[in-house]
Amino acid sequence: MEFFEKDLIPFSKLRNEKFYRILNELRHEHPALWHSYPAPTLCFINEDEYVLAYVRSTSGSYIYVILNLSNKPRPCRLLRDVSGKEIFTGKRINIKAGSELTLEPWEYLVIVH
């Protein structure tokens, strides 16, 4: 192949295509994920060894990410209210601060508010 020759890579029938397409669209459409001014803030919203939960926000735009990083179901208590639309299922999510949420092994939620 020549140095400047375009190499066409077939991107059809990819196993996780929908997952990455949704994340890529979110990255381009949601201000909390942009590199902008004022810079978005990142705040951890739980205290747990196996579940990572955080919010990234800027100018009234919020992205909540909750990840079970283990191979077992894990309960989690969030330190703040979380509400919005889960981007992979389209379901409305409302979690009150202090209430218990149980995540299945490797389960994740990405919530847009």
- Token pair in block for residue 20: 């990455």
Structure-token pair, residue 68 = 């079970």
Q: How confident is the model at residue 89 (pLDDT cuts 50, 70, 90)?
A: very high
Pick the CATH number of 38-112 from 2.60.40.1180, 3.40.50.1000, 3.20.20.100, 1.20.1290.10: 2.60.40.1180
Place of tokens 């990572």: 52
Q: State the average pLDDT for the chain.
A: 89
Per-residue pLDDT, 87: 96
Bridge partners, 84 (sequence order): 93
Write down the pLDDT at residue 105: 98
As a whole number of angstroms, the distance between CA 69 and CA 7 comes to 37
- Between vectors from CA 62 to CA 59 and to CA 67, what angle results, nearest 5°? 150
What global pTM score does this model have?
Answer: 0.83
Name every residue whose Cβ is closer than 8 Å to that of residue 72 and which is 6 or more positions away in sequence. Answer: 50, 105
User: pLDDT (tens digit, 9 = 90+) per residue, 52-73?
Assistant: 999 999 888 899 999 999 999 9
**Number of helices (H), then strands (E), in the chain:** 1, 8
